[in-house]
Structure 1
């Protein structure tokens, strides 16, 4: 009996221990599957305040916003603190509404197809500035699936959630006899139709102010919507849109234009002329005597007011613009940017004259300058209500009703780029209920499923930075496919098939797309299919579609995206078509509206892009050579030996733009002569101070990721390149937010000093990223900044996409696990890891000694375990021997 008693007690103890272990394991599993808890989407919404080496042309700002929606969603919804393209800035003190947005998160681009909705009580105010409410960041909750805020001026709690093409808003009102909701297009105007019987508003917002779409597609790129309300309307009406048709009548003498072949309006004008209106889109030069790029114009005119009252001036511009009224600066957007519309309102008196001056500069690509003045509108309330029922173009639409204390009013919005009927269909298919929490939970689960593919062991602060970065890496490009169709911004038609847009490929080929290869390989195939659909519909794979062609940036790095995927075994697309599109990039000049590789004919003939014929000649030459390397690698893998030999030879053309005297890039004319060693015309970014110029000369020189050994040989050997890199980093020429040289911290691996990469990468990660609102040191650039951080903190980086290898850095975390699509897991373990122990002492791969400073993609996909012993002092032998270094460009990489 006593024996049985002890046996029972022992069994109970065992069960209790097992139960505790099971409970702890379950709790760990819950934590591991709820990574969304670590994310704050406001990181990077404030300017970076840390150390930063920058050209004056770019500010250290993340350009991100706290958007809500699924991974790769067609639209997101975000609080709006400004009517500028970037919808949210931390420093702004008021919220103007909640914007359904297509702004590419983290890019210096333009908004398109936006729609903003704002709740308020009391006096009806319809303009964004008038209706804006104070708020406190302390009452904000910003996560990928849910955002909430208290609008202090109205005592309204606003909550947002969203899926891919639909969003769900919930407003908790106070008791009021005058509660309102206003909907508008913050960038221009829209078309609105109210159906009071169904508690619905439908319509579209156009693409006014956006460059490139009307001319390329035949119609403006519009975003259609259907908004369903949970509460009936007691009153509603439109807000009349500005009438710009009479602008010419207000300026009887037209506008005097003075054009300059510089961006500073300096010296004597190269052209003077009178224009009756200012309404231009220049795909080339504005006149035969004016530059295609890098020009400026000053327009002056005299406005004679026809009536008294509030007039609104509108200026749509590409790049920098300023507007003066009676010599007072009223619009100041003297910045390099995509096309957008600025406005300014003031009261004018009938019969009086006003001096108007508009100054504009064009950088590169297409140029846009449009000016209009809207006179006061005079429509009564009855007419505006009838217009709302019938549907009309307007600045805004508003509805009103009474609310009780803490009454929730819900709004569901479906969107489409095809038509209103498809917007309604998208809403019904994605949110066919009125359960706000249900939608928020579904989006949360989708994010957790995506985020749990990488597990890290680190502090809470580290997890906050890491998982916010991972979330940002899973936002773009956006999937705009709707029921198997898409509206094409390349031919203006509704087309069958897959489409993604907002590819910031010049940025994202470097690490964003390689990260997606590891985490989302099926989606990578979809993205490449979308690029090929763009090729079919417009003639080219795009460089920076947002949503259609733009001429932004230099190389055709879709070549790198495709080649990297193909080399790494992702081939679920038309590979022959893809290869043909790449060859077109490498041989054919672009058309009038799409330039592809600028100077490609001269590049093929001379072996470089001549400075006296083309802007950005240095980086074009180096990037064309890298793209040729990618074409060569894909040709080699496809068994196309002749093409491989041709393009691997062309991949070495970068040497032709490196000056044997200075060992830096240097301007070179078509006749082969070198320009001055300090001539800044090689790059539009190299103008400004001497430090600006040297900064870009030194950064661009390092862009030979496919032939680092060749670069070292040119400079005089490994030791010379090592000294160059030492000087480069020690004198703050490196900027982590500048894509030109994002790969450069890893270049020490190629020349026998990997321990310097280890130290440097840990320092850069720790000093340049934080968990606060100013936590990004520069533009997020559609996931590139974040993916650079993700790879770096895990301990390896794809220095040269198109090669199936990754350079090893210094893992920040004790353990990282990647769940691969093939069901296997790649694990990195760093023993004795700490802030001080940043140096690799030794390594093993699957238990066997590993001495290479790089790892092959196949080893990762095999589900291996890479272990490091870390220490406070460098082991200068590990990875440094010649046989353990990365192989040269002319040889295929062996495993």
Structure 2
């Protein structure tokens, strides 16, 4: 909304921005020029606006429906795996499946301290919004929404800026740390301004207070659950403290459209907020710092004091950029296409945002499952939450294990802490609560994979909970609350979950065949864990369960199909249509979800040619759905037939057709970075098809050199290099050598730990 009086005034006001834009442009040019000279400055290749629009890949366009068609990422400013992310806001609700920001939105409503799970269809929670205003007080998000100059927009992992086209122009800049944010609001003429703070409580339960003596506005937004316990309090809030550099000239609170001038406190009503008012002169800058926490207002203040103890915006920005550069430099590239650098490092950025830091700088965090007390993780460690495990066990968490192994280890330890505090290993822990949001049991998958790879998991503490999920039935209030596997009584009785078990106590009801497939895969991982841990009897039982996928394979249709208690098959069968017994997919897609026993699956389908033909059919008929995770390993299955060229061609075709440098450049929901992690692995030329196997299936890289600079504490070899010399990086290769010795197109995790060189040639 532009409130310029006439065209003459518009031109005059825009002319006044010239000096400001020139300064910003020169600064940006200087930084970019420095990036060009220093290859280690990799932030230049990250474009956080990728993934903020409607997915543009042809595969996603064909198969995705509703919110699945949107990538759902946000241009998040934070450090890797930060507690709170700072994003422009185009939608003001915390409702399920609505991202705070969409590229091309009607306008900006403010700038949100967000706990949105990027790329998801969950909910934001405990969030709040800051909006600078000129003119009269505008309280509703739709009223204060204004246009912004698209050419002025700058988005990086460490910095966001844009020019708000209000009655008087405002240049907004944001940077941040793990738990805190830093804002600069620059003005080009004398005017009255207000900084409006809104706790985004859809339930009308927020609290906010103005403290003129401390020059602060602080408050909280209570968190509510969805999925299990929908609408119930999660037992904690998102707390925030906004501190201004300059003393307020005036202040107040508001309820809806009512301006309560000089009032200092308000709570428990819909559409509340507070504001600080200032008189500014030409070229004035108002700075505000914000601390956040999930434990208390005092903790939010302490986090802010610890992370940003000064008022030097450039210093904080530079420090956050340095953190990102150090993390991105774990993987260095040479050769290949220029646009692939942007795709790759943006994918890496998206893969390093979640799970989120949940503990304060002193280690405090609300206990899992209802916040019955405040816990404290041991010094030097971080407690994490928001694990989108149905998605991320596949590639995102394995990628984190390579590039940030210390944080990955803390993530796995956080899962064990949740089990200790709640009594069961969680299925899909979000907003520090049990959810059972999706099918499967992938805390077990992820923990088991980490333990088998040699990460420091306290198996004496973890194993009883891992075993409990796999071999015990959750009942009563525990089950209603989301604890334990769904359909477990049936699974243990029949070896599969029959159609008669409708799985009522879950957000995803039914989906019995998918649950059977996923439990059997996880039981394979757990059988390996039990074997390593010396639990021989458990290992034998779980290894048997790992074969349960065979019980839902219909030999007549050569597909995974719904099955009744009496053994008969569901009449609801169409190979290319979604079915109620499958999770977000078709029988043609879910046939291949047996990553723990690909040779066994192939034996069920037929001979080598029959399997190859069936894989070819999936891709040639465009029934392959890359925009959803159960398909992600399928392109690599040609390797198990010895057709390494087909794997390479298929993988590279998906990369070229489904990923690009535009706002819709990721196929479907990014799902906590899983879609991005698939790209990152595939661009490097290998992918973790089977959790617990300690192996990666190899395709071939799209760069001439990939150097992994690995943490020697976890990877004693320190460096692992992947090379190929052909200028056409999208071609296929017939030969791969590890440290000079030709190998099949399979790479072991232990090979990466030891360090070495993987070379492709023909």
> Which TM-score bucket, shorter chain as reference?
0.7 to 0.9
Q: Does 1:496 align with 2:376?
A: yes
Of residues 544, 550, 566, the one that matches 2:451 is 566
Q: Give, in angstroms, the shift of residue 839 of structure 1.
A: 1.5
- How large is the Cα RMSD of the aligned pairs? 2.3
Aligned to 1:65: 74
Aligned to 1:610: 498
**Counterparts of 1:554-593 in structure 2 under 5 Å?**
554-571=439-456, 573-590=457-474, 591-593=479-481
Give a deviation string over 1:42-96, Cα, whole Å, max 9, x none: 0011112231241535533210010101111010110001114411101213100
Compared with structure 1, are the counterparts of its residues 211 and 222 closer, same or farther at alpha carbon in structure 2 (3 Å cutoff)? Answer: farther
Q: Which has the larger radius of gyration?
A: 1
Aligned to 1:31: 38
| SS at structure 1 position matched to 2:210 | strand
Q: Give, in angstroms, the shift of residue 176 of structure 1.
A: 3.5
Aligned to 2:214: 198
**Counterparts of 1:175-190 in structure 2 under 5 Å?**
175-188=189-202, 189=204, 190=206
Of residues 717, 722, 728, the one that matches 1:834 is 728
Aligned to 1:600: 488
Q: Does 1:78 align with 2:94?
A: no
Aligned to 1:525: 409
| SS at structure 2 position matched to 1:221 | strand
Of residues 216, 221, 237, the one that matches 2:252 is 237
Partners of 1:96 and 1:129 within 8 A in 2 = yes
Give a deviation string over 1:804-857, Cα, whole Å, max 9, x none: 000001211111010111161111101224155x22122221122x13110111
| SS at structure 2 position matched to 1:206 | strand
Q: Does 1:769 align with 2:659?
A: yes
Q: Give, in angstroms, the shift of residue 595 of structure 1.
A: 4.7
- Structure 1 residue runs of 5 or longer lacking an equivalent are 1-25, 242-376, 871-895
**Counterparts of 1:63-142 in structure 2 under 5 Å?**
63-84=72-93, 85-142=98-155
Q: How far apart, in 1, do the equivalents of 2:67 and 2:580 lie?
A: 9
Aligned to 2:745: 853
Q: Give, in angstroms, the shift of residue 406 of structure 1.
A: 1.7
**Counterparts of 1:240-639 in structure 2 under 5 Å?**
240=255, 384-385=260-261, 387-389=263-265, 395-457=272-334, 458-482=336-360, 483-492=362-371, 493-497=373-377, 498-547=382-431, 548-571=433-456, 573-590=457-474, 591-614=479-502, 615-639=510-534
Q: How far apart, in 2, do the equivalents of 1:577 and 1:658 lie?
A: 36
Q: How far apart, in 2, do the equivalents of 1:100 and 1:727 lie?
A: 46
Q: How far apart, in 2, do the equivalents of 1:136 and 1:510 lie?
A: 39
Compared with structure 1, are the counterparts of its residues 517 and 835 closer, same or farther at alpha carbon in structure 2 (3 Å cutoff)? Answer: closer
Q: How far apart, in 1, do the equivalents of 2:512 and 2:389 lie?
A: 19
Q: How far apart, in 2, do the equivalents of 1:633 and 1:143 lie?
A: 42
Q: How far apart, in 1, do the equivalents of 2:669 and 2:90 lie?
A: 19
Of residues 147, 155, 159, the one that matches 1:146 is 159
Aligned to 1:164: 178
Q: How far apart, in 2, do the equivalents of 1:466 and 1:545 lie?
A: 28
Give a deviation string over 1:558-613, Cα, whole Å, max 9, x none: 11111111111112x31122222111111223321115321112111111000121
Q: Give, in angstroms, the shift of residue 495 of structure 1.
A: 1.4
Q: Give, in angstroms, the shift of residue 519 of structure 1.
A: 1.4
Q: Does 1:741 align with 2:631?
A: yes
TM-score calculated relative to the size of structure 1: 0.75
Q: Give, in angstroms, the shift of residue 211 of structure 1.
A: 5.5
Q: Give, in angstroms, the shift of residue 698 of structure 1.
A: 1.1
Partners of 2:228 and 2:437 within 8 A in 1 = no
Give a deviation string over 1:337-396, Cα, whole Å, max 9, x none: xxxxxxxxxxxxxxxxxxxxxxxxxxxxxxxxxxxxxxxx8x7x5xx3454258776611
Q: Does 1:42 align with 2:70?
A: no
Q: How far apart, in 2, do the equivalents of 1:717 and 1:542 lie?
A: 40
Partners of 2:701 and 2:729 within 8 A in 1 = no
Compared with structure 1, are the counterparts of its residues 833 and 852 closer, same or farther at alpha carbon in structure 2 (3 Å cutoff)? Answer: farther
Partners of 2:576 and 2:623 within 8 A in 1 = no
Partners of 1:99 and 1:116 within 8 A in 2 = yes
Compared with structure 1, are the counterparts of its residues 595 and 718 closer, same or farther at alpha carbon in structure 2 (3 Å cutoff)? Answer: farther
Q: How far apart, in 1, do the equivalents of 2:549 and 2:323 lie?
A: 44
Partners of 1:686 and 1:697 within 8 A in 2 = no
Partners of 2:388 and 2:672 within 8 A in 1 = yes
Partners of 2:79 and 2:324 within 8 A in 1 = yes
Q: Does 1:844 align with 2:737?
A: yes
Aligned to 2:21: none
Compared with structure 1, are the counterparts of its residues 155 and 771 closer, same or farther at alpha carbon in structure 2 (3 Å cutoff)? Answer: same
Partners of 1:510 and 1:801 within 8 A in 2 = yes
| SS at structure 2 position matched to 1:852 | coil
Partners of 1:128 and 1:186 within 8 A in 2 = no
| SS at structure 1 position matched to 2:734 | strand
| SS at structure 1 position matched to 2:58 | coil
When structure 1 is superposed on structure 2, of 58-67 and 742-751 the one drifting more is 58-67
Q: How far apart, in 2, do the equivalents of 1:512 and 1:166 lie?
A: 25
When structure 1 is superposed on structure 2, of 145-154 and 110-119 the one drifting more is 145-154
Compared with structure 1, are the counterparts of its residues 110 and 455 closer, same or farther at alpha carbon in structure 2 (3 Å cutoff)? Answer: same
Partners of 2:78 and 2:320 within 8 A in 1 = yes
Q: How far apart, in 1, do the equivalents of 2:300 and 2:568 lie?
A: 58
Compared with structure 1, are the counterparts of its residues 595 and 55 closer, same or farther at alpha carbon in structure 2 (3 Å cutoff)? Answer: farther
When structure 1 is superposed on structure 2, of 106-115 and 45-54 the one drifting more is 45-54
Compared with structure 1, are the counterparts of its residues 70 and 587 closer, same or farther at alpha carbon in structure 2 (3 Å cutoff)? Answer: same
Compared with structure 1, are the counterparts of its residues 487 and 456 closer, same or farther at alpha carbon in structure 2 (3 Å cutoff)? Answer: same
Partners of 1:193 and 1:390 within 8 A in 2 = yes
Aligned to 1:254: none
Q: How far apart, in 2, do the equivalents of 1:806 and 1:726 lie?
A: 22
Compared with structure 1, are the counterparts of its residues 392 and 47 closer, same or farther at alpha carbon in structure 2 (3 Å cutoff)? Answer: closer
Give a deviation string over 1:117-171, Cα, whole Å, max 9, x none: 0001112211111011101322111000000000012310000000011100010
Q: How far apart, in 2, do the equivalents of 1:58 and 1:177 lie?
A: 42
Aligned to 1:651: 546
Give a deviation string over 1:412-442, Cα, whole Å, max 9, x none: 0101111111111111001111000010011
Partners of 2:228 and 2:482 within 8 A in 1 = no
Q: How far apart, in 2, do the equivalents of 1:673 and 1:158 lie?
A: 63
Q: How far apart, in 1, do the equivalents of 2:183 and 2:416 lie?
A: 36
Compared with structure 1, are the counterparts of its residues 137 and 213 closer, same or farther at alpha carbon in structure 2 (3 Å cutoff)? Answer: farther
Partners of 2:73 and 2:670 within 8 A in 1 = yes
Q: How far apart, in 1, do the equivalents of 2:719 and 2:430 lie?
A: 35
Partners of 1:543 and 1:558 within 8 A in 2 = yes
| SS at structure 1 position matched to 2:733 | strand
Partners of 2:207 and 2:266 within 8 A in 1 = no
TM-score calculated relative to the size of structure 2: 0.88
Partners of 1:213 and 1:220 within 8 A in 2 = no
Partners of 1:503 and 1:543 within 8 A in 2 = no
Partners of 1:555 and 1:596 within 8 A in 2 = no
Partners of 1:135 and 1:149 within 8 A in 2 = yes
Partners of 1:667 and 1:682 within 8 A in 2 = no
Partners of 2:239 and 2:300 within 8 A in 1 = yes
Q: How far apart, in 2, do the equivalents of 1:213 and 1:404 lie?
A: 51
Compared with structure 1, are the counterparts of its residues 613 and 785 closer, same or farther at alpha carbon in structure 2 (3 Å cutoff)? Answer: same
Partners of 1:151 and 1:157 within 8 A in 2 = yes
Compared with structure 1, are the counterparts of its residues 678 and 806 closer, same or farther at alpha carbon in structure 2 (3 Å cutoff)? Answer: same
Q: Does 1:224 align with 2:224?
A: no
| SS at structure 2 position matched to 1:136 | strand
